[in-house]
Amino acid sequence: MNMEFHKKRRQQFLGEDRYRTTAPILVDSIAYFDTNPYGSGRNQAERDMLGRMSAALDRFNMLTFKYTAGEPIEPLRSELEQVVAAYERYGELLWSFRKDRNEVVFEFTSIDDYCQLMQLIGLCFLLHRRDLLPRLAALQDGVDGTNGGCDVIYEEFMIHVVGPEKRYQTDHACQIRPYENLFYALTEDTQAKQLKELDLFLKHWYKDLAGTGWHDSHKPDENGNQGGYYGYWSFEAGAAVLLLGIEDDSSLHKYLYYPKDLVAWAREHAKLTQADVASPGHSLRLRCEANQPCPKTGFWFTPARASSRQRFEAGQVMPEVGGDYGATVWQWDELQD
């Protein structure tokens, strides 16, 4: 093993060979499913939806993979936005397929979905991309906040973005284990109590998530392959430390999946959050209705038609695509390449 890789990787389960061979596969899969349908599904609409879901998950896995491999943290800030944008594209096709914009992109009752949602929220805080949290909320809240208040831990994180008066009151937790202690940590009144609850949360985090698809994926199968291991990280625990203002988190460093490097980076770059808070409009996605002039040159897509991504010039009239989805609304594609 290359000693440089051995030193910089953030978890010992990841070998250099696996990283060098698997990363290009992920990149190719993302490129393909960004625009192509999945191989299974009842009809074209479902295959297109599943294709975008696969691309979004692969983008999330790629970001996690890079962090696990010890790659620099700064570039992950822009990659996180690409992950959120990919889930937005998936969301539009999900809502079209289900014919219901109140469907959540991450099921609160699915342990896999819930875990990933918590990780994404944690990354938004740790990478100082709070501007992306309203976009994540739009994937979960439904029309006019129909789904607001589904989960108390989700709401506890979101009030740090918009304030409690703009979120929803609830005492319902969709996933008790292991997240109950995380909620207690976020609501305790002293740092000693907060750290105690975070320690309990992390103590049970990996064991209690045994039902997820990625659990134990670092263990080789009968052919010696690691399967879907990209790293085990409780980014939400790191976000809690940051939000609670805990300066000494050394008692949590014993947990392999506590992202101590990312927490340290977040503290060192705290001024980035001030920029996010000062520019809330940065989180708004450009939209343009059909038959209106294009507001910005670049690539756009519409959920009214699969594989609709195309380039328009500023001032060009955006076309109507027809179909039974409803009004054609074009959306700016965050991926301009």
Burial class (CB in 10 A: 0-12, 13-18, 19+), 198: buried
Q: Verify that 159 and 293 share a domain, yes or no.
A: no
Place 309 in a pLDDT band, splitting at 50, 70 and 90: confident
Query: Is pLDDT larger for residue 171 or for residue 63?
Result: 63
Q: Verify that 212 and 249 share a domain, yes or no.
A: yes
pLDDT in tens, 101-133: 999 999 999 999 999 999 999 999 999 999 999
Mean pLDDT of 217-228: 80
Q: Verify that 42 and 76 share a domain, yes or no.
A: yes
Q: Verify that 112 and 247 share a domain, yes or no.
A: yes
Domain end (from 269, 284, 299): 284
Most confident listed range (22-31, 38-47, 158-167, 300-309): 22-31
Say what the pLDDT of residue 12 is.
95
Mean pLDDT of 128-149: 94
Q: Verify that 124 and 231 share a domain, yes or no.
A: yes
pLDDT in tens, 247-257: 999 999 999 99
Q: Verify that 235 and 308 share a domain, yes or no.
A: no
Give the per-residue SS3 of the chain.
Answer: CCHHHHHHCCCCCCCHHHHHHHHHHHHHHHHHHCCCCCCCCCCHHHHHHHHHHHHHHHHHHHHHHHHHCCCCCCCHHHHHHHHHHHHHHHHHHHHHHHCCCCCCCCCCCCHHHHHHHHHHHHHHHHCCCHHHHHHHHHHHCCHHHCCCCCCHHHHHHHHHHHCHHHCCCCCCCCCCCCCHHHHHHHHCCCHHHHHHHHHHHHHHHHHHCCCCCCCCCCCCCCCCCCCCCCCCCCHHHHHHHHHHCCCCCHHHCCCCCCCHHHHHHHHHCCHHHHHHHHCHHHHCCCEEECCCECCCCEEEECCCCCCCCEEECCCCECCCCCCCCCCCEEEECCCCC
Say what the pLDDT of residue 59 is.
98
Say what the pLDDT of residue 329 is.
76
Mean pLDDT of 319-326: 67
Q: Verify that 210 and 168 share a domain, yes or no.
A: yes
Residue at token pair 């819930």:
114
Say what the pLDDT of residue 333 is.
78
Q: Return the minimum-mean-pLDDT range out of 94-108, 195-209, 293-307.
A: 293-307
pTM listed for this prediction: 0.82
Pair of tokens at residue 186:
């976020």
Say what the pLDDT of residue 284 is.
41
Q: Verify that 236 and 99 share a domain, yes or no.
A: yes
Domain end (from 242, 263, 284): 284
Place 220 in a pLDDT band, splitting at 50, 70 and 90: confident
Q: Verify that 190 and 227 share a domain, yes or no.
A: yes
In terms of phi and psi (left: phi > 0; alpha: psi -120 to 50; beta: otherwise), the region of 329 is beta
Pair of tokens at residue 272:
């980035």
Tell me the average pLDDT of the chain: 90
pLDDT in tens, 245-296: 999 999 999 999 999 999 999 999 987 765 554 443 333 456 787 888 888 8
Say what the pLDDT of residue 323 is.
58
Quick check: 238 and 258 in contact, CB under 8 A?
Answer: yes
Q: Verify that 331 and 227 share a domain, yes or no.
A: no
Say what the pLDDT of residue 156 is.
94
Mean pLDDT of 294-316: 83
**Pick from 181, 73, 80: which is nearest to 124 by CA?**
80
Say what the pLDDT of residue 325 is.
47
Does residue 158 carry a pLDDT above 90?
yes
Say what the pLDDT of residue 75 is.
96
Q: Verify that 205 and 311 share a domain, yes or no.
A: no
Indicate the number of domains in the chain.
Answer: 2
Say what the pLDDT of residue 279 is.
40
pLDDT in tens, 51-92: 999 999 999 999 999 999 999 999 999 999 999 999 999 999
Say what the pLDDT of residue 45 is.
93
Tell me how far apart the alpha carbons of residues 321 and 306 are, in angstroms, rounded to a whole number.
Answer: 10
Quick check: 194 and 178 in contact, CB under 8 A?
Answer: no
Does residue 148 carry a pLDDT above 50?
yes
Q: What are the backbone dihedrals phi and psi of residue 155, each rounded to the nearest 5 degrees, phi first?
A: -65, -35
Say what the pLDDT of residue 280 is.
39
Say what the pLDDT of residue 43 is.
95
Tell me how far apart the alpha carbons of residues 269 and 260 are, in angstroms, rounded to a whole number.
Answer: 14
Q: Which domain holds residue 311?
A: 286-337
Q: Verify that 120 and 134 share a domain, yes or no.
A: yes
Half-sphere exposure of 68 (CA within 13 A, CB side): 25
Mean pLDDT of 132-143: 95
Length, in residues, of the chain: 337
